[in-house]
């Protein structure tokens, strides 16, 4: 029994110094493992006792799992460091204008839009929604690729207040909708922050955009 006791003591020692949640959970699981192992020893058949090698195998197996958990903790720490490094790489975007499928800020000046209807479309419509995702305007356009300046008005020509507006191009064929796509717009980058899935940009009106969604970057006009 002394050999097993020494092995158990050696295995408990590293777990006692763990501080991360995963390591704490591992230590708790190890305590449960020891209780089960002790019960196994007490209730074994005295005529056919388990070999010491069998106990060693069980201890080694659990120790391997414990080491894997520690490795995962280290990998998670490295991933967090990489995210912070990525944040530093795009800090220079602040003050520039990024293009992405996001709402545009309207402050009274026309908002330039570039879009294209889907193949097979015979006509299109620009659908404008406000920050509450309420449709506020709808404008008929021709099919194909084109550019236009949205003047910040409803279809009837009534002016809309300043704010963030989202634009969609609806493709129509035989009067029926065959597709709808968000129109990409430019927005000035006000801030760069680290989100749960990586760096994100914060544009006007607090609009957040994942860096992966940005398709173009330019100097502010």
Residues 6+ apart with CB under 8 A from 126: 113, 115, 137, 138, 139, 141, 148, 150, 167, 168, 169, 170, 183
DSSP one-letter code for 87: H
The answer to whether 163 touches 130, Cβ cutoff 8 Å, is: yes
Alpha carbon distance 67, 88 (integer Å): 32
In this prediction the pTM is 0.60
The percentage of the chain sitting over the pLDDT mark of 70, rounded to a whole number, equals 67
The whole-number average pLDDT for the span 76-97 is 67
pLDDT tens track for 152-201: 998 888 999 999 999 999 999 999 999 999 999 999 999 998 888 888 89
pLDDT band at 104, cuts 50/70/90? Answer: very high
Q: Is the pLDDT of residue 48 over 80?
A: no
**What pLDDT does 65 receive?**
66
Q: Is the pLDDT of residue 149 over 70?
A: yes
Residue with more model confidence, 199 or 84:
199
The whole-number average pLDDT for the span 143-153 is 95
pLDDT band at 61, cuts 50/70/90? Answer: confident
Residues in the chain: 221
The percentage of the chain sitting over the pLDDT mark of 90, rounded to a whole number, equals 47
Return left, alpha or beta for 21; rule: phi > 0 is left, psi -120 to 50 is alpha, else beta: alpha
pLDDT band at 78, cuts 50/70/90? Answer: very low
pLDDT band at 29, cuts 50/70/90? Answer: low
Q: Is the pLDDT of residue 129 over 70?
A: yes
Among 86-90, 116-120, 150-154, which is the least confidently predicted range? 86-90
- The mean pLDDT value of the chain amounts to 79
Residue 176, beta-bridge partner list: 173
**What pLDDT does 53 receive?**
66
Q: Is the pLDDT of residue 82 over 50?
A: no
pLDDT band at 111, cuts 50/70/90? Answer: very high
Residue with more model confidence, 26 or 44:
44
The answer to whether 116 touches 167, Cβ cutoff 8 Å, is: no
Give CA separation, 210 vs 24, 114, 179, 180, in Å. 34, 21, 24, 21
């Amino acid at each position: 029994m002394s050999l097993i006791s020494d092995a158990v003591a050696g295995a408990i020692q590293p777990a006692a110094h763990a501080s991360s949640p995963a390591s704490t959970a591992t230590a708790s699981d190890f305590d449960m493992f020891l209780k089960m192992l002790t019960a196994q020893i007490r209730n074994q058949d005295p005529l056919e006792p388990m070999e010491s090698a069998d106990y060693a195998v069980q201890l080694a197996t659990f120790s391997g799992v414990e080491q894997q958990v520690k490795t995962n903790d280290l990998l998670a720490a490295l991933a967090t460091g990489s995210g912070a490094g990525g944040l530093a790489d795009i800090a220079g975007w602040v003050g520039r204008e990024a293009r992405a499928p996001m709402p545009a800020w309207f402050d009274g000046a026309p908002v330039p839009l570039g879009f294209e209807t889907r193949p097979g479309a015979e006509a299109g419509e620009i659908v404008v929604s406000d920050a509450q995702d309420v449709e506020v305007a709808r404008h008929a356009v021709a099919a194909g690729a084109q550019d236009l300046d949205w003047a910040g008005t409803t279809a009837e020509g009534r002016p809309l207040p300043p704010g963030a507006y989202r634009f969609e191009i609806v493709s129509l064929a035989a009067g029926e909708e065959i597709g709808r796509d968000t129109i990409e717009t430019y927005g000035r980058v006000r801030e760069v922050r680290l989100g749960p899935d990586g760096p994100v940009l914060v544009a006007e009106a607090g609009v957040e955009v994942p860096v992966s969604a940005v398709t173009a970057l330019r100097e502010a006009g």
